[in-house]
């Protein structure tokens, strides 16, 4: 049993998070229930920021809110002095409603609409990460018409792909994101942006992958980008203020995962950039990073009640819970792996190996295959670890299942930060057949 953050077993023999008994949580808030360890999120945020400060580097640590966006989460990011990445008008709207300082908001995305760009300008956000020539031209036109300046980063694909332990050198031309650094697109975009009196090009941005357990990919990306920047400094006199090396720092989901400490990612990235800059004609840029999963992923636990079971002789035993792909689609979407325990009996000895099924009407609705557990039955509580990233944010109403509630726990207190959806919530946008608008065709 691997416990995260403030998790432990209390005197009642129950899983406890943030000083709060998880069984008491489900008695109050029901199941399924997302539970976030706030102290662990704060610890991760402070760890990233502290490392930059100790190294004496000007930096921004931006929370990638696509991992989990809610008003309370955005306010927590603000409390910890983080910047914020958004990728849609909805995420930007959430940040505005959370009173997040707009000058620390960065807007990402490969297909920002004209309305989204106007919204970003209306709220005078800190930076737009421009992804392609179409967006670059549109943004420049909008800024010109509004006579309003906007700071931008150009997203580039540096020819590095990284995932977990592997990294791949590739031309990277076939990507929906960014300007290719190798084929000349990035330089063309830079020259175009620099001609605009309304766009201030802060620097370059890249994101090489996710769930990365080594620094190799980040260092290779830095080498390629700074090499190009040094060349451009000589040819067009461009000096970047910012180098954004993205996120993707890995976390431990199961015993197969072995992530690095946050400080090590930062230290090695900074040292590499410093060495590269020292060997160039460039000045040291401000370093930006974008942790999402590594801030909230292992701070989240989902609690379920165990329901039915099915024994397939000589094959496997299935145990079903009262959630599934409607609250965690990652296992069905790309075979993500998780670990879990019985929250009401975490110290009981393992007696069997079972597979955890969700309740959705899909054969692929499986949360965990071959999980060692004590003998579990109806009414037991299953705690699935590391569901804090892309759990609630990718949740859905398949089979018209309401989305779960979200609770923050810290210092022995529980705060309901997202209410559980009701059946009425499920139909509040529906119109009866006689109410539906009719369009007459001539």
> Which of 263, 289, 315 finishes a domain?
289
Rg of the chain on CA atoms, in Å: 24
According to the annotation, is 271 in a ligand binding site?
Answer: no
Instruction: Check whether residue 261 and residue 304 sit in a common domain.
Output: no
Catalytic residue among 127, 206, 361, 386: 361
Sheet with 209-212: strands ordered across: 166-169, 160-164, 209-212
Rounded CA-CA distance 54/264 in Å is 13
Report pLDDT digits (tens) over 105-151: 999 999 999 999 999 999 999 999 999 999 999 999 999 999 999 99
According to the annotation, is 362 in a ligand binding site?
Answer: yes
According to the annotation, is 403 in a ligand binding site?
Answer: no
According to the annotation, is 338 in a ligand binding site?
Answer: no
1 in a structural domain: no
Instruction: Check whether residue 149 and residue 283 sit in a common domain.
Output: yes
Active site residue 361: yes
Instruction: Check whether residue 148 and residue 201 sit in a common domain.
Output: yes
Peptide bond into 401 cis (omega under 30): no
66 in a structural domain: no
CB–CB of 97/71 below 8 Å? yes
CA angle 85, 87, 92 (to 5 degrees): 75
42 in a structural domain: no
Pull the structure tokens for residue 219: 């260092």
For residue 168, give Cα distances in angstroms to 161, 367, 380.
Answer: 5, 30, 44
Instruction: Check whether residue 147 and residue 269 sit in a common domain.
Output: yes
According to the annotation, is 330 in a ligand binding site?
Answer: yes
> Which of 237, 262, 289 finishes a domain?
289
According to the annotation, is 351 in a ligand binding site?
Answer: no
58 in a structural domain: no
220 alpha-carbon distance from chain centroid = 23
Q: pTM above 0.85? A: yes
Instruction: Check whether residue 392 and residue 282 sit in a common domain.
Output: no
Instruction: Check whether residue 309 and residue 282 sit in a common domain.
Output: no
Rounded CA-CA distance 158/46 in Å is 29
CA proximity to 243, closest of 252, 230, 255, 234: 230
Q: Is 153 left (phi over 0), alpha (psi -120 to 50) or beta?
A: beta
Q: What are the pLDDT tens digits along the chain (442 aa)?
A: 899 999 999 999 999 999 999 999 999 999 999 999 999 999 999 999 999 999 999 999 999 999 999 999 999 999 999 999 999 999 999 999 999 999 999 999 999 999 999 999 999 999 999 999 999 999 999 999 999 999 999 999 988 877 665 554 443 566 788 899 988 999 999 999 999 999 999 999 999 888 999 899 999 999 999 999 999 999 999 999 999 999 999 999 999 999 999 899 999 999 999 999 999 999 999 999 999 999 999 999 999 999 999 999 999 999 999 999 999 999 999 899 999 999 999 999 999 999 999 999 999 999 999 999 999 999 999 999 999 999 999 999 999 999 999 999 999 999 999 999 999 999 999 999 988 777 666 5
Rounded CA-CA distance 418/405 in Å is 5
Query: Strand 199-205 and strand 150-157: pairing?
Result: parallel
According to the annotation, is 248 in a ligand binding site?
Answer: yes
Instruction: Check whether residue 256 and residue 325 sit in a common domain.
Output: no
Report pLDDT digits (tens) over 177-193: 889 998 899 999 999 99
Rounded CA-CA distance 122/38 in Å is 32
268 in a structural domain: yes
Instruction: Check whether residue 259 and residue 208 sit in a common domain.
Output: yes
Domain membership of residue 266 as a residue range: 108-289
Q: 114: domain CATH number? A: 3.20.20.10
Q: What pLDDT does residue 268 have?
A: 96
Rounded CA-CA distance 25/395 in Å is 21
DSSP state letter for 299? G
Instruction: Check whether residue 201 and residue 146 sit in a common domain.
Output: yes
CA proximity to 359, closest of 327, 334, 316, 406: 327
76 in a structural domain: no
Q: What pLDDT does residue 171 have?
A: 39
Instruction: Check whether residue 194 and residue 215 sit in a common domain.
Output: yes
Torsion of CA 224, 251, 409, 95, to 10 degrees: 30
Q: What pLDDT does residue 435 have?
A: 83
Rounded CA-CA distance 67/41 in Å is 13
Torsion of CA 262, 263, 264, 265, to 10 degrees: 50
What's the domain count of the chain?
2
Instruction: Check whether residue 257 and residue 120 sit in a common domain.
Output: yes
CB–CB of 56/427 below 8 Å? no
Q: 312: domain CATH number? A: 2.40.37.10
22 in a structural domain: yes
Residues in the chain: 442
438 in a structural domain: no
Instruction: Check whether residue 139 and residue 285 sit in a common domain.
Output: yes
């Amino acid at each position: 049993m691997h416990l995260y953050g403030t998790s432990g077993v209390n005197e009642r023999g129950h899983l406890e998070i943030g000083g709060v008994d998880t069984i008491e949580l489900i008695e109050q808030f029901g199941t399924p229930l997302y539970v976030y360890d706030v102290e662990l999120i704060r610890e991760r945020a402070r760890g990233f920021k502290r490392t930059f400060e100790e190294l004496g580097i000007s930096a921004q640590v931006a929370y990638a809110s696509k991992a989990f966006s809610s008003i309370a989460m955005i306010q927590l990011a603000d409390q910890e002095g983080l910047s914020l990445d958004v990728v849609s008008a909805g995420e930007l709207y959430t940040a505005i409603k959370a009173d997040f300082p707009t000058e620390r908001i960065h807007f990402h995305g490969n297909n920002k609409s004209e309305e989204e760009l106007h919204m970003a300008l209306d709220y005078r956000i800190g930076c737009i990460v421009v992804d392609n020539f179409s967006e670059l031209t549109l943004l420049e036109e909008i800024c010109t018409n509004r006579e309003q300046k906007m700071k931008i980063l150009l997203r580039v694909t540096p020819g590095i792909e990284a995932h977990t332990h592997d990294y791949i050198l590739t031309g990277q031309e076939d990507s929906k994101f960014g300007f290719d650094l190798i084929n000349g697109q990035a330089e063309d975009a830079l020259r175009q942006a620099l001609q605009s009196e309304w766009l201030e090009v802060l620097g370059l941005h890249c994101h090489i992958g996710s769930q990365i357990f080594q620094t190799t990919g980040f260092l290779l990306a830095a080498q390629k980008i700074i090499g190009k920047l040094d060349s451009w400094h000589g040819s067009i006199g461009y000096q970047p203020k910012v180098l954004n090396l993205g996120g993707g720092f890995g976390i431990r989901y199961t015993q197969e995962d072995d992530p690095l400490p946050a400080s090590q990612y930062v230290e090695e990235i900074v040292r590499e950039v410093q060495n590269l800059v020292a060997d160039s004609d460039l000045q040291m840029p401000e370093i930006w990073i974008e942790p999402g999963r590594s801030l909230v992923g292992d701070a989240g636990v989902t609690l379920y009640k165990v329901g039915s079971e099915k024994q397939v002789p000589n094959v496997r035993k299935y145990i079903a819970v009262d959630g599934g792909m409607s609250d965690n689609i990652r296992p069905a979407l790309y075979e993500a792996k998780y670990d879990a325990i019985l929250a009401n009996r975490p110290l009981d000895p393992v007696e069997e190996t079972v597979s955890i099924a969700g309740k959705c009407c899909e054969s692929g609705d499986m949360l965990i295959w071959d999980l060692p557990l004590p003998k579990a039955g109806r009414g037991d509580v299953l705690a699935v670890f590391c569901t804090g990233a892309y759990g609630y944010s990718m949740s859905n109403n398949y089979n018209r299942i309401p989305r779960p509630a979200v609770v923050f726990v810290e210092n022995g207190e529980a705060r309901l930060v997202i209410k559980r959806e009701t059946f009425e919530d499920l139909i509040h946008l529906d119109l009866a057949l006689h109410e539906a608008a009719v369009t007459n065709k001539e």
